[in-house]
Amino acid sequence: MKRLWLTAALGGVLILGTVAFVGGQGEQDAGAAAPATTVEAASQPIQFPHNTHAGQFQIDCQYCHFSAERSVDAGIPPVESCMGCHRVVPGRNNPEEVAKVVEHYNAGTPIPWRRIYKVSDHVRFPHLRHVNAGVDCQTCHGQVQEMGVLETVAPEARDLKMGWCISCHVEQNASRDCTVCHY
C-alpha cells in the first residue's frame, strides 16, 4: 500500500524536483505542487502560555517534550508533569486555566490538546535524528519561548512542506532519497 503510493508518486518527481530546488524561498512556491502539512489554528482546551514557561521561567523544551532526542515524536507532557508545579502554583494571571489542569488531574483524564504540526501519513519525520544532529527546535518551530498561546501564532508558523525539508537537506548534506522520508 505504502510502496504503491511511492511508485505512483515517482511520476511526479520531475515537477516536484523542480519546485523543491527553487531555493531558499522554495517552501512558499512548493505549495502548489505539494499540498502542505496541516498547521491548524486549532482551539486548545487550556490556554497554555509557552512564553511564561519556556521564556520567563526558562523551563527547558525537553523537560516537557521529553522524547525529542530519543524518539520519532517530541512528546506532549502528561498532566502529571504539569502538577509537579501547579500543585503549588495557582497562577496569578489566569488561575481559571490552571484550575482546569487540576480538574483533569483529579479526574484522571488526559488534557485533549489539539495537534498543530503534523505531516501526512506517508511522510516520516524523526525528531531524534534532527535534535541529535544539532538542529534547534527554533529552526523549525520558531521562537516558541516568546510565543503566548500557540494557536494564536500557528498561522505564522512555518509550513511543513517538502521543499522546505529538501532545502535544508541540501544545505546540510542530509539524505534526499525519497524512501527516507516516504513510506
Find the binding residues for ligand HEC in span 137-176 (CB under 6 A): 137, 139-141, 144-145, 150, 160-162, 164-166, 168-169, 172, 174-176
d(C-alpha 32, C-alpha 16), whole Å: 10
Establish if 51 lies at the interface with ligand HEC (CB under 6 A).
Answer: no
Q: Which of 19, 26, 68, 105 binds ligand HEC (CB under 6 A)?
A: 68
Whether 98 contacts 86, CB under 8 Å? yes
Cell of 168: 535544508
Smallest gap from Cβ 112 to ligand HEC, in A, equals 10
Establish if 126 lies at the interface with ligand HEC (CB under 6 A).
Answer: yes
Whether 12 contacts 156, CB under 8 Å? no
Establish if 102 lies at the interface with ligand HEC (CB under 6 A).
Answer: no
Cα 36–chain centre separation: 13
Inter-helix orientation angle 79-86/95-107, to 10°? 130
Establish if 105 lies at the interface with ligand HEC (CB under 6 A).
Answer: no
Smallest gap from Cβ 43 to ligand HEC, in A, equals 11
